[in-house]
Each structure stands twice: as structure tokens, then as C-alpha cells.
Amino acid sequence: MNVIDYIIIVLKVIVSVSILNVWLIQYKKPTKWRGGKANTIFEEFEVYGLSKTFCYVIGFFKVSLALVLLASIQFGYLTLIGSLGLALLLIGSILMHIKVKDELYKSFPAFLFIIMNFIIAYFSF
């Protein structure tokens, strides 16, 4: 393995653990990144005009894809599914922030993780 391989592993861990943290640990806690003035992930989806059911669906996909991205450290063929799947969902996050006219900084984490996922995908070819 060369240096870039180790960097990609670190990026996979950062992205995956961050997504898992947001959806499994911090989902009921307020952060400055939540849309509108929401304090929980459920309130955030409400701000976006989305249902609680849709929140669960998106949460399922984000958690699943984060786990796939982690698994791709061992099973490389999973990399594109995890990285591009998460990138697509994160683009949706940014669009929701734009929809409710959030301050630009609230989209920063999603934007950063999109870039990381594109780097991961690029170097998986």
C-alpha cells in the first residue's frame, strides 16, 4: 500500500464515523449545522417540509451507506456504492438547506463530505 491508500482509508473512516455519529448518537441534540432553527434531526426534516417517515428512510440509507463505506476498507468493490451513494444523499442535504434559505455555513459539513466522497471514488478506480 502507498500513502494515498492510507489517506483514502482515513477519509473513509472520517466520513463514515461522522455520518454514524449524526444519525445514531447526535440525532436528538442541537447543533449549529441543523436546518432552520431545528434542535433535532426530526425537527430539521420538519423545517424542510419532509415527513418523519422520510427522515427514517434517509437515516436508514445514510447509516447503511456509511457502514458500506467502512466495509469497503476490507472489500474494495463496495467503495463506489458507499462513496457515491453518500455523495448523492449529501447533495440532497445541501438542496434542503438552500430550499429553506439557511445560512451558507450550515451546508459546509455536507459540502466537505461530498468532496471527501468524490476523492474516495476517484482513487477507487
DSSP state of 26: S
Taking only the tens place, the pLDDT of each residue in 3-36 is 999 999 999 999 999 999 999 999 999 999 999 9
Range of the domain at 7: 3-122
The yes-or-no verdict on residue 1 having pLDDT over 90 is no
Structural domain count of the chain = 1
Residue whose entry in the numeric block shows the C-alpha cell 466522497? 117
The yes-or-no verdict on residue 125 having pLDDT over 90 is no
CA quadruple 29, 45, 22, 124: dihedral, nearest 10: -170
DSSP state of 63: H
